[in-house]
Amino acid sequence: MILLLAMAALHAQVTYDDLLKADPKNWLHYSGQYHSQRHSLLKQIDTGNIKTLSAAWIYHIEGARRLESVPIVVDGVMYVSQPNEVHALDARTGRLIWDWHRQPALQRGPNRGVAVYGNKVYFGTPDAHLISLDARNGSLLWEAKLAEASDGYWCPVAPLVIQGKVIIGIAPGDHGLNGFLDAYDAETGERLWRWNAIPRPGEPGNETWAGDSWKTGGGDTWLTGSFDPELNLIYWGIGNPAPDFDGDVRKGDNLYTESVVALDAGSGRMKWYFQMTPWDVHDWDAVEVPVLVDAFFRGQQRKLLVQANRNGFYYVLDRTNGKFLHGTPFVKMLNWASGLTPEGRPMRVPGVIPSFQGTKTCPATSGATNWMSPAYNPDTGWFYVVAQEGCGINTKSRDTFRPGGFPYMGTGYVESPDEPWQMYVRALDLTTGKLQWEYKQIGSRRYGAGLLSTAGGLIFAGDDQGLLTALDARSGKALWHFNTGKQITASPMTYMVKEKQYVALTAGANVVAFALPR
Amino acid sequence: MRLILMFSLLTSLPALAQLPSRRRAQPPPRMEDAVPGREIYNRNCTICHGIDGAAGDRAPALGAQRRYLRRTEGDLHEAIKNGIGGTLMPSSPLPDSDIRKIIAYIRSLRATAIDVAVAGNQRNGEAIFYGKGACLDCHRIRGRGGLAGPDLSDIGVERKLEDIRVALTTEKPAPSRGYQPVRLTTSDGRTIEGVIKNENNFSLQILGVDQKLHLLLRDEIQELAYEGNALMPSDFDKKLSKEEFQDLLAFLSRQARRRAQ
């Protein structure tokens, strides 16, 4: 009995208060904190000692190929996932505590991570379920079906736990499957609300879909959003309309695809939306992590929401009401719009739409940025983003929706042969979007690796060649790097155990952790 | 479970082996069908496969330089008509006459240089390759020649005739990965010229014109200049006579140490 009590005492439960405060020793959310700034207050590792940062341990996940999971750390325990699997590790040593494997395992990927609350770990599965495991031994507590996997739905999303509710989205919109955002009771798995990303007949916004095109409109919710506890609003980016490249069959703005929406956390009702790309025909999902910052904007203290969007523009919104405050390109290669109107609507360049022969489109469909996380450093006041400069050749053809999980894309894109794609890390002024510095990731052309900012004055950035690099947050100068050996397609995070700070990330099939030598 | 799986695999092997022979024999494709076949293909197949045989978002390139699972007319007809089990490839409602045209088009996309009749005198072409063309400075065939460019010993089965023609006559927008020409001075005063095999922000792996590897950290380099253009000349149709150019094509198109399986 004494042993049992001692065991229970060893394992701290994660409370809502913990999730709100997000002690920097832990990494409790996909994006670190509810505001998704991905800025850690840990500063044991700093610009002065970064040169001595060394690999502390490597944990290999058998069968993994391209992990996209961001590890979650609670009081020295790391939870990391790949599709159908959760691994709990000793965050100091990388030693396995338990692992859980879903059987039968439907093979669809990736998985971007877990969420924690109480004594539970939550994660989504390739067969479109939300799973709850006991955080101490990995035993299955409950599972909730999000959607029919046989329809083609699956879940790569790291959940977000708010006030005892597990918030989770769904994929894929590219198959003409309509997206939604769900809230489940964290204790029981009972569904508390669902918000449908594509409005039905009679609901506002349905008129933005020609005919019955709303039925197969897409609009998935495949990347974790943010939360403002004061406003009690969840902010979530919505994916592309379907068919992706053929807009002829879905004339209209196609709400709420390519939008950021603000939902009441209690009821799931939408308070506002802002659509970045009305009638998108380039597959520019607006799912990129919305970052919440309270800052002075043109002399006035405001609650801002900023997003670097896949369409090439950086947006500054008032997150209380969704009002557009400012927008500017953060990539040079942008040919589809000449700018934004005072309301933030793109001024489209005629003819830059997919065609049968192919239309040069910049940014490429892979986007000016994508799921790789941005970061905001309150010390510099700058927003940091991974940007891809490049163009695609976008083609179109008439597609037919087929139930059962078939792509409903209306064709696709290839890389434009004129100039190779190139990846950059860029620092933008938060409120103006003005470029402060850029770091060219030489030899890196493919996206996927995100950023971490720390109070040590560092920006950690991965790249497609497997390098994890630490940059000086003020100058953009590379101060340290490590070759993890495989393309990085996830974002780094940091935590502290027994007064030692670690930086960790998934890279290829491995979890790699770094710390200063003793 | 494993036993059952092994048993089912073993029992299914003979069935697999018989599969092609059970398929209905299809009349050979007529190459003239490739033209209407292209139109039908681009209208029906590019939802998943890329346009004009390129790779799509959801399915492979049907005309790329690769080994193909389905090579015979029967295999291709079966795949288009009835779909491919366990994949996203669906069955097609197209009439057989259209499917045959698509097959003709796919076959035309796939033919490598060695599969196509090429006019010209191979012996003369060989002489040009080793002499007037100066190809040997950068390329090698069967162990003889330079290292800066790709080995051409199998170019006949690796590339289509049109690709070879384009490579000899058209300037590339930018050097290919692994063949970026560079000229640099090291901190200790050495000058190195060559092509960059790989690079990142911290190191470069260079194959020098001296045919040696030079592995450098960026902080060991004082000055570095990337050449904008690829080393490969693109004027062979101008510096050679029409006949000489055709002879060189004939020679290159027949280079194969192996035939594709």
One domain, residues B150 and B190: no
| Per-residue confidence band for B84, with pLDDT thresholds at 50, 70 and 90 | confident
Query: Looking at the DSSP assignment, which residues form a beta bridge with residue B184?
Result: B192, B224
Q: CB-based contact (8 Å) between A469 and chain B? A: yes
Catalytic option among A127, A244, A283, A399: A283
- In this complex, do A414 and B50 lie within 8 Å of one another by their Cβ atoms? yes
Contacts of A23 (CB under 8 A, 6+ apart): none
Distance (Å) of CA A511 to CA A9, A370, A476, B31: 28, 22, 26, 53
**Residue A422 in domain:** yes
Q: CB-based contact (8 Å) between B201 and chain A? A: yes
Instruction: Please give the DSSP secondary-structure letter assigned to residue A435.
Output: E
Average model confidence (pLDDT) across chain A: 95
Of residues A152 and A418, more confidently modeled:
A152
pLDDT at B147 exceeding the cut of 70: yes
- In this complex, do A397 and B46 lie within 8 Å of one another by their Cβ atoms? yes
- In this complex, do B200 and A465 lie within 8 Å of one another by their Cβ atoms? yes
| Per-residue confidence band for B70, with pLDDT thresholds at 50, 70 and 90 | low
**Residue A7 in domain:** no
Task: Give the one of A399, A440, A463 whose C-beta lies nearest to B47's C-beta.
Answer: A399
- In this complex, do A407 and B54 lie within 8 Å of one another by their Cβ atoms? no
pLDDT for position B3: 34
**Residue B116 in domain:** no
Average model confidence (pLDDT) across chain B: 81
One domain, residues B126 and B247: yes
One domain, residues B81 and B148: no
Q: How many CB atoms lie within 10 A of CB A301?
A: 9
| Per-residue confidence band for A426, with pLDDT thresholds at 50, 70 and 90 | very high
Q: Quote the tokens at residue A316.
A: 């500054």
Q: CB-based contact (8 Å) between A12 and chain B? A: no
Query: Looking at the DSSP assignment, which residues form a beta bridge with residue A324?
Result: A317
pLDDT for position B28: 64
- In this complex, do B43 and A397 lie within 8 Å of one another by their Cβ atoms? yes
Q: Indicate the burial class of A499 (C-beta count within 10 angstroms; 0-12, 13-18, 19 or more).
A: exposed
Task: Give the one of A357, A397, A469 whose C-beta lies nearest to B47's C-beta.
Answer: A397
pLDDT at B104 exceeding the cut of 90: no
CATH code at position A420: 2.140.10.10
- In this complex, do A410 and B58 lie within 8 Å of one another by their Cβ atoms? no
| Per-residue confidence band for A180, with pLDDT thresholds at 50, 70 and 90 | very high
Cα distance between residue B102 and residue B99, in whole Å: 5
Contacts of A407 in chain B (CB under 8 A): 47-48, 57-58, 88
Q: Which domain holds residue A304?
A: 14-515
- In this complex, do A411 and B47 lie within 8 Å of one another by their Cβ atoms? yes
pLDDT at B52 exceeding the cut of 80: no
Angle at which helices B96-110 and B34-44 cross, to 10° = 100
pLDDT for position A430: 98
Give the mutation candidate from A411, A425, A469 for the B interface (greatest B CB count, under 10 A).
Answer: A411
Cα distance between residue A98 and residue A95, in whole Å: 9
Query: Looking at the DSSP assignment, which residues form a beta bridge with residue A80?
Result: A87
Q: Quote the tokens at residue A102.
A: 């879903």
Q: Please, are residues A111 and A128 in contact by the beta-carbon 8 Å criterion?
A: no
Distance (Å) of CA B153 to CA A341, B141, B157, B160, B216: 58, 4, 9, 14, 30
Q: CB-based contact (8 Å) between A358 and chain B? A: yes
Contacts of B88 in chain A (CB under 8 A): 406-407
CATH code at position B86: 1.10.760.10
Task: Give the one of B90, B173, B202 whose C-beta lies nearest to A481's C-beta.
Answer: B202
**Residue A64 in domain:** yes
Backbone angles phi, psi at B145, to 5 degrees: 130, -170
One domain, residues B248 and B129: yes
**Residue A226 in domain:** yes
Backbone angles phi, psi at B206, to 5 degrees: -115, 135
Q: Is A379 a catalytic residue?
A: no
Q: CB-based contact (8 Å) between A416 and chain B? A: no
Give the mutation candidate from A409, A469, A482 for the B interface (greatest B CB count, under 10 A).
Answer: A409
pLDDT for position B69: 59
One domain, residues B74 and B154: no
Which span out of A432-441, B75-84, B96-105, B205-214 was modeled with the highest average pLDDT? A432-441
Instruction: Please give the DSSP secondary-structure letter assigned to residue B24.
Output: P
Q: CB-based contact (8 Å) between A326 and chain B? A: no
Mean pLDDT of A260-266: 98
Cα distance between residue B258 and residue B261, in whole Å: 9
Looking at the structure of chain A, the number of domains it has is 1
Task: Give the one of B46, B173, B200 whose C-beta lies nearest to A395's C-beta.
Answer: B46
pLDDT for position B218: 96
Contacts of B43 in chain A (CB under 8 A): 397
HEC letters along A259-322? EEEEEECCCCCEEEEEECCCCCCCCCCCCCCCEEEEEEECCEEEEEEEEECCCCEEEEEECCCC
**Interface confidence (ipTM) of the complex:** 0.84
Cα distance between residue B129 and residue B250, in whole Å: 11
Range with the poorest average pLDDT among A66-70, A290-294, B254-258: B254-258
Q: CB-based contact (8 Å) between A280 and chain B? A: no
CATH code at position B198: 2.30.30.100
Q: CB-based contact (8 Å) between B61 and chain A? A: no
Of residues A349 and B40, more confidently modeled:
A349
Mean pLDDT of A321-349: 98
Q: Please, are residues A483 and A466 in contact by the beta-carbon 8 Å criterion?
A: yes
Mean pLDDT of B86-100: 83
One domain, residues B240 and B154: yes
pLDDT at A313 exceeding the cut of 60: yes
Looking at the structure of chain B, the number of domains it has is 3
One domain, residues B58 and B134: no
- In this complex, do A478 and B201 lie within 8 Å of one another by their Cβ atoms? yes
Residues 105-124 of B with CB under 8 A from A: none
pLDDT for position B8: 33
pLDDT for position B20: 39
**Residue A1 in domain:** no
Which residue type occupies A223? L
| Per-residue confidence band for A432, with pLDDT thresholds at 50, 70 and 90 | very high
pLDDT at B25 exceeding the cut of 60: no
pLDDT at B22 exceeding the cut of 50: no
Give the mutation candidate from A51, A365, A414 for the B interface (greatest B CB count, under 10 A).
Answer: A414
Q: Which domain holds residue B74?
A: 14-110
pLDDT for position B54: 72
Contacts of A360 in chain B (CB under 8 A): none
One domain, residues B66 and B166: no
**Residue A464 in domain:** yes
Contacts of B178 (CB under 8 A, 6+ apart): B195, B196, B197, B198
Contacts of B54 in chain A (CB under 8 A): 414
pLDDT at A41 exceeding the cut of 50: yes
Range with the poorest average pLDDT among A189-203, A334-348, B22-36: B22-36
Rg, Å, chain A Cα set: 22
- How many whole angstroms from its chain centre is CA B225? 30
- How many whole angstroms from its chain centre is CA A218? 18
Question: Which three-class secondary structure state does DSSP give residue A451?
Answer: strand
One domain, residues B132 and B236: yes
| Per-residue confidence band for B14, with pLDDT thresholds at 50, 70 and 90 | very low
Q: CB-based contact (8 Å) between B53 and chain A? A: no
**Residue A2 in domain:** no
pLDDT for position A140: 97
One domain, residues B51 and B102: yes
- In this complex, do A481 and B88 lie within 8 Å of one another by their Cβ atoms? no
pLDDT at B58 exceeding the cut of 80: no
| Per-residue confidence band for B72, with pLDDT thresholds at 50, 70 and 90 | confident
Size of interface A-B (CB pairs under 8 A): 65
| Segment (H or E) for A478 | strand A478-483
Percent of chain B residues past pLDDT 90, beyond the cut: 45
Mean pLDDT of A168-189: 96
* Torsion, Cα of B194, B195, B198, B203 (10° steps): 30
Contacts of A481 in chain B (CB under 8 A): 201-202
Contacts of A412 in chain B (CB under 8 A): 46, 50, 56-58
One domain, residues B145 and B237: yes
For B183-193, how does the pLDDT look when each residue is reduced to its tens digit (9 = 90+)?
Answer: 999 999 999 99
Of residues A287 and A401, more confidently modeled:
A287
Of residues B12 and A423, more confidently modeled:
A423
| Per-residue confidence band for B259, with pLDDT thresholds at 50, 70 and 90 | low
Cα distance between residue A421 and residue A446, in whole Å: 7
Mean pLDDT of A336-342: 98
Q: Please, are residues A168 and A155 in contact by the beta-carbon 8 Å criterion?
A: yes
For A456-475, how does the pLDDT look when each residue is reduced to its tens digit (9 = 90+)?
Answer: 999 999 999 999 999 999 99
Query: Looking at the DSSP assignment, which residues form a beta bridge with residue A413?
Result: A394
**Residue A3 in domain:** no
- In this complex, do B55 and A414 lie within 8 Å of one another by their Cβ atoms? yes
Q: CB-based contact (8 Å) between B50 and chain A? A: yes
Closest CA in chain B for residue A477: B201
Of residues A211 and A447, more confidently modeled:
A211
Percent of chain A residues past pLDDT 90, beyond the cut: 90
Q: CB-based contact (8 Å) between A216 and chain B? A: no
pLDDT at A405 exceeding the cut of 90: no
Instruction: Please give the DSSP secondary-structure letter assigned to residue A188.
Output: T
Range with the poorest average pLDDT among A65-79, A170-184, B101-115: B101-115
One domain, residues B31 and B101: yes
**Residue B1 in domain:** no
pLDDT at B178 exceeding the cut of 60: yes
Of residues B91 and B24, more confidently modeled:
B91
Contacts of A444 in chain B (CB under 8 A): 200
Mean pLDDT of B21-49: 73
Task: Give the one of A395, A441, A444 whose C-beta lies nearest to B51's C-beta.
Answer: A395
For A112-133, how does the pLDDT look when each residue is reduced to its tens digit (9 = 90+)?
Answer: 999 999 999 999 999 999 999 9
pLDDT at B86 exceeding the cut of 80: no
Cα distance between residue B202 and residue A478, in whole Å: 9
Q: CB-based contact (8 Å) between A441 and chain B? A: yes
pLDDT for position B15: 34
Cα distance between residue A98 and residue A94, in whole Å: 12
Number of alpha carbons in the 13 Å side-chain half-sphere of residue B151: 8
Closest CA in chain A for residue B43: A397
- In this complex, do A478 and B202 lie within 8 Å of one another by their Cβ atoms? yes
**Residue B260 in domain:** no
Torsion sign (Cα): B201, B206, B209, B213: positive
